[in-house]
């Protein structure tokens, strides 16, 4: 006998009991994006591997060891399940010449894939909502993004999500800094752990990102990127800070914030929450002015961010009372005629905008009533052959004391909608 098949490690099912949390999040996010004038862009989950190598960077953790990459056997092409969507978004904007129509404010939603070691808040399939603004040099648009995020945390009812910002400067400034940092780290190479030694050669700025406490002091004393920054980036960063202060957004500067993807320059940031443990970033992003050119188009400035939905849902679950959605009506029916008539009534009730669960599978009224109760519906609409013959229904309130009434379908709608609206 063959055994049970389980989901792939690090990839989760979202069960119906959790669905209302996701729906609350998704509804809030859609409305939030609408009021800021962002339009959605949907790109495929699979892209050519080279897109990610070129954009995220060959020496990053994501590209080196976390991508789900395989060869399409039909044509030998190397494909990758997207580990993030900024690169795909830029690819699509270039491919469809969207920037000809002017700057683009875009958003996307969906699953991303990274072959990381699964732990609380870190999965191999996770979901992001991302926002990208292409063709705008900032820092006004960078500030818009941070103000947007702050509004979303308020809309979701989240507290304790704090903002850390940094600037990575121009590519030249970063190259100067990289040289200085490598010299410093080489002088102390014997103190580095294996991971950091590897990063020292491939991607030295990422050594600063190490979570190893044994390296904390070495990192604290490392040269600071701020000392190499170019004037333009510094000016933009100062301006961004003053825009944030004017908007009443609290933030702290974290000089060690370097991000794990190579495409960034200028301002970068992370929204973090201490209650999440090691995986504390709920949203992160910044400016990536070089990426559009790197992917093969005329240079244009860009910036954006993405948030991890699973991590935000942990916070929402802790802090926000989200009530599960219940149907307005559970429709019980028994008898040959009643079965047919009941199905017709259910459609009429739905025409009137009511959410109706139609009992299927037969059974006694008593057994059906148990199901009606368990469904959480506000009303039971009961149809026997008697009601079917007279073309009426019986309506029984389930969540408050009240009599069972016989009514025409139209009157039933009136009873249910009045009670339903005075309930809510």
**Interface residue list for ligand HAM (CB under 6 A):** 84, 86, 114, 116, 121-123, 126, 128, 130, 132, 260, 281-285, 288, 304-308, 310-311
| Whether the Cβ atoms of residue 219 and residue 200 lie closer than 8 Å to each other | no
- Smallest distance, ligand HAM to C-beta of residue 110, A: 12
What number of other Cβ atoms are within 10 A of residue 380's Cβ?
A: 24
Residue linked to tokens 């009514």: 407
Residue 118 CA: distances (Å) to CA of 115, 129, 266: 8, 20, 31
Residue 187 CA: distances (Å) to CA of 47, 184, 228, 230: 41, 5, 20, 26
The smaller minimum CB distance to ligand HAM, of residues 121 and 157, is found at 121
The smaller minimum CB distance to ligand HAM, of residues 32 and 341, is found at 32
DSSP 205: G
**What pairing do the DSSP bridges indicate for beta strands 265-272 and 162-167?**
antiparallel
- Smallest distance, ligand HAM to C-beta of residue 279, A: 7
- Smallest distance, ligand HAM to C-beta of residue 154, A: 18
What number of other Cβ atoms are within 10 A of residue 20's Cβ?
A: 14
- Smallest distance, ligand HAM to C-beta of residue 25, A: 13
- Tokens representing residue 253 in the block: 């500067």
- Smallest distance, ligand HAM to C-beta of residue 377, A: 35
DSSP conformation letters of 161-174: -EEEEEE---HHHH
- Smallest distance, ligand HAM to C-beta of residue 41, A: 12
- Tokens representing residue 414 in the block: 């009136």
The smaller minimum CB distance to ligand HAM, of residues 89 and 381, is found at 89
- Smallest distance, ligand HAM to C-beta of residue 221, A: 26
The smaller minimum CB distance to ligand HAM, of residues 20 and 122, is found at 122
| Backbone φ, ψ for residue 109 (5° rounding) | -145, 145
- Which phi-psi region, left, alpha or beta, contains residue 106 (left: φ > 0; alpha: ψ -120 to 50)? beta
The smaller minimum CB distance to ligand HAM, of residues 206 and 311, is found at 311
The smaller minimum CB distance to ligand HAM, of residues 147 and 398, is found at 147
Which of 67-72's residues contact partners 24+ apart within 8 Å by CB, and which partners?
Answer: 67/113, 67/114, 67/115, 68/113, 68/115
Dist. CA 130–CA 269, nearest whole Å:
14
The smaller minimum CB distance to ligand HAM, of residues 123 and 341, is found at 123
- What is the CA angle 394-400-401, rounded to 5? 75
What number of other Cβ atoms are within 10 A of residue 317's Cβ?
A: 11
- Tokens representing residue 412 in the block: 């039933």
- Tokens representing residue 287 in the block: 């400016």
The smaller minimum CB distance to ligand HAM, of residues 39 and 245, is found at 39
- Smallest distance, ligand HAM to C-beta of residue 121, A: 6
Residue spans of beta strands (DSSP E) within 82-124: 104-113
Dist. CA 421–CA 406, nearest whole Å:
21
- Smallest distance, ligand HAM to C-beta of residue 270, A: 6
Sheet holding 46-48, edge to edge: 46-48, 77-81, 68-72
- Smallest distance, ligand HAM to C-beta of residue 305, A: 5
- Smallest distance, ligand HAM to C-beta of residue 223, A: 24
The smaller minimum CB distance to ligand HAM, of residues 51 and 352, is found at 51
The smaller minimum CB distance to ligand HAM, of residues 132 and 328, is found at 132
The smaller minimum CB distance to ligand HAM, of residues 130 and 384, is found at 130
Chain residue whose CB lies nearest ligand HAM: 308
In the three-class reduction of DSSP (H, G, I as helix; E, B as strand; rest coil), residue 60 is classed as coil
């Amino acid at each position: 006998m063959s055994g049970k098949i389980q989901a792939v490690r690090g990839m989760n099912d979202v069960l119906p009991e959790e669905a209302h949390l996701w729906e609350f999040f998704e509804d809030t996010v859609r409305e939030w994006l609408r009021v800021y004038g962002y339009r959605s862009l949907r790109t495929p989950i699979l892209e050519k591997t080279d897109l990610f190598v070129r954009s995220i960077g060959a020496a990053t953790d994501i590209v080196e060891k976390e991508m789900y990459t395989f060869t399409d056997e039909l044509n030998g092409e190397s494909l990758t399940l997207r580990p993030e969507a900024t690169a795909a978004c830029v690819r699509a904007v270039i491919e469809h010449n969207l920037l000809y129509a002017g700057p683009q404010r875009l958003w996307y939603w969906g699953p991303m894939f990274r072959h990381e070691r699964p732990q609380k808040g870190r999965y191999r399939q996770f979901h992001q909502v991302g926002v990208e603004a292409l063709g705008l040099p900032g820092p006004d648009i960078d500030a818009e993004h941070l103000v947007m995020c702050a509004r979303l945390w308020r809309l979701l009812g989240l507290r304790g999500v704090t903002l850390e910002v940094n600037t990575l400067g121009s590519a030249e400034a970063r190259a100067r800094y990289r040289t200085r940092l490598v010299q410093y780290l080489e002088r102390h190479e014997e103190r580095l752990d294996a991971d950091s030694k590897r990063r020292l050669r491939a991607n030295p700025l990422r050594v600063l990102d190490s979570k190893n406490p044994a390296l904390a002091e070495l990192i604290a004393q490392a040269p600071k990127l701020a000392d190499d920054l170019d004037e333009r980036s510094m000016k933009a960063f100062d301006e961004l800070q003053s825009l944030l202060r004017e908007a009443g957004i609290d933030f702290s500067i974290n000089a060690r914030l370097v991000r794990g993807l190579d495409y960034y320059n200028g301002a970068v940031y992370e929204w973090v929450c201490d209650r999440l443990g090691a995986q504390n970033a709920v949203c992160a992003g910044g400016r990536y002015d070089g990426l559009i050119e790197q992917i093969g188009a005329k240079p244009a400035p860009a910036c954006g961010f993405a948030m991890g939905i699973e991590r935000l849902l942990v916070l929402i679950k802790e802090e926000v009372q989200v009530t599960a959605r219940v149907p307005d009506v559970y429709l019980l029916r028994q008898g040959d005629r009643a079965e047919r008539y009941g199905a017709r009534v259910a459609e009429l009730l739905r025409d009137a905008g009511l959410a109706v669960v139609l009992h299927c599978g037969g059974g006694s009224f008593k057994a059906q009533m148990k199901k009606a109760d368990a469904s959480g519906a506000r009303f039971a609409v009961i149809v026997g052959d008697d009601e079917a013959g007279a073309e009426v229904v019986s309506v029984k309130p389930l969540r408050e004391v009240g009599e069972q009434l016989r009514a025409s379908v139209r009157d039933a709608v009136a009873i249910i909608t009045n009670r339903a609206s005075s309930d809510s």
